[in-house]
Amino acid sequence: MAAKTLRNYVGGAFLPPGNTFDKISPVDGSLVAQVAEADRNTVDQAVAAARKAVDGAWGNTSVPERVALLRRIADRVEARFDDLLAAEVADTGKPLALARELDVARAVANFRAFADVTAARGLDSFLTELPDGRRALNYALRKPLGVVGIIVPWNLPLLLLTWKLAPALAGGNAVVIKPSEETPSSATLLAEICAEAGVPDGVVNVVHGFGPDSAGEWLTTHPDLDGVTFTGESATGAAIMRAVAPHVRPVSFELGGKNAAIVFADADLSRTVDGLARSIFTNTGQVCLCTERVYLQRPVFDEVVAGLADRARALRPGRPDDPSTTTGPLISLAHREKVLSYYRLAESEGATTVTGGGVPSLAGSLDRGAWIEPTLWTGLPHDARAAREEVFGPVAALIPFDTEEEATRLANDTRYGLAAAVWTRDLERGHRVAGRMRVGMSWVNTWFLRDLRSPFGGVGLSGIGREGGEHSLHFYTEPTNVCVAL
């Protein structure tokens, strides 16, 4: 059976494929699809189509019209849930249950959440009264930012795309989407779904390709782009900043993390080990919010290490549709080699590998996939590279501490600042320590629990700006103040 071809979507139509590249399954190395690589002309066409849309009728749609459209998209995503689920699993190899409960369900929620926020949104207004008796009414209008480049990563491709697309459309923008070359399927299908929901031609465009000297570079350097939103690694974010700098375009970045968890001796250890296992191993550690540094108060160090090691050994790799599968592969063999290089580096820096540290032996065609063992380290010095650089795999360094002050200092001693988690029964201390974390998001006795209206993002190498609710809408719209003398 011939592999499907994923094409670029520009101005409301799928284009002839031209040159293609292969999308390979991380599960068994089989061919998932052939993907049309956009050339520079295709990117130019996509930006021009978006500009025509945003400067035309779409840019003048009313808030109720855009809210209704978001709700229709959510309904169509829900109606095609199984199609999106199959696309996401084929690209990423993650277990079916995880993709169903996290990726596709959240895509539906993203469109509905931003429809709700947009429908309830008000405008800033002020009655101005000056000492000389003059009076005026000041009010703010919010207009679309314009043509927005949306660049999304491969770890949660549909979730993170809809997290950006929904508020972009809510603000009246037109977009050019560049999905990761590793996960092109769900973005292509979402373009089709948007058309089914009535999104006008040119409002949503999808171009496939790579970064340098390909669609990513041609999009971010395009002179007719009005802004870029990107989720991915910090080095790529820095490259995009350089690309947009000559045109002084705004950016919204959610970048990498070397996230810490702090476990105090009074924590509910059963609940804590459950939470830590999720935060270390979910999606094979390929989530920006995953925990890679765990600081354990010395009296409970051995017990928590043993509990996490049991959880790691209990994870079962396998095909996504096998109900017994509880962990998937890494996204590619190239990424596996990067993660394995950190496994080797950690041991050279003095770490003891408690469990894992290599590649599992799997039967049949699975042996050609990008599988890796969940891994835990003890004895790794705090200043070791493996303890300071983002690995983006199912791994964590387990480090003892004695005092609250020491744990806070160690957790904050990083160039990143995305997320942290504090585990303790003492809620006064939980509030205190969580508030002292130099991060964008702090959890107490939980992880990955989100209200979609709350601010999402990081500091330092972890990003610029915030997403979620009003915070997203501020990026995708520009305010104009109107002052009327009374």
Task: Please state, for a pLDDT cut of 70, what percent of the chain lies above it.
Answer: 100
280-294 per-position pLDDT tens digit: 999 999 999 999 999
pLDDT of 2 over the 70 cut? no
Neighbours of 117 (CB within 10 A): 22
Residue 390 to residue 416: CA distance in whole angstroms: 9
- pLDDT at 140 (0 to 100): 92
Confidence of residue 3 (pLDDT cuts 50, 70, 90): confident
- pLDDT at 123 (0 to 100): 83
Q: Which residues of 431-455 are buried (b: 16+ CB within 10 A; e: fewer)?
A: eebbebbbbbbbbbbebbeeebeee
Domain residue extents for the chain: 4-255+461-485, 259-451
pLDDT of 1 over the 70 cut? no
CATH 3.40.605.10 is held by the domain 4-255+461-485: yes
DSSP SS3 for 4: strand
Specify whether 288 is catalytic: yes
pLDDT mean over 226-239:
96
| Superfamily of domain 259-451, CATH level 4 | Aldehyde Dehydrogenase; Chain A, domain 2 (3.40.309.10)
pLDDT mean over 264-289:
98
24-83 per-position pLDDT tens digit: 999 999 999 999 999 999 999 999 999 999 999 999 999 999 999 999 999 999 999 999
**Summary mean pLDDT of the chain:** 97
- pLDDT at 173 (0 to 100): 98
Catalytic member of 194, 288, 292, 404: 288
440-455 per-position pLDDT tens digit: 999 999 999 999 999 9
Residue 440 to residue 445: CA distance in whole angstroms: 17
> In this structure, which amino acid lies at residue 182?
E
Catalytic member of 254, 292, 373, 404: 254
132-178 per-position pLDDT tens digit: 999 999 999 999 999 999 999 999 999 999 999 999 999 999 999 99
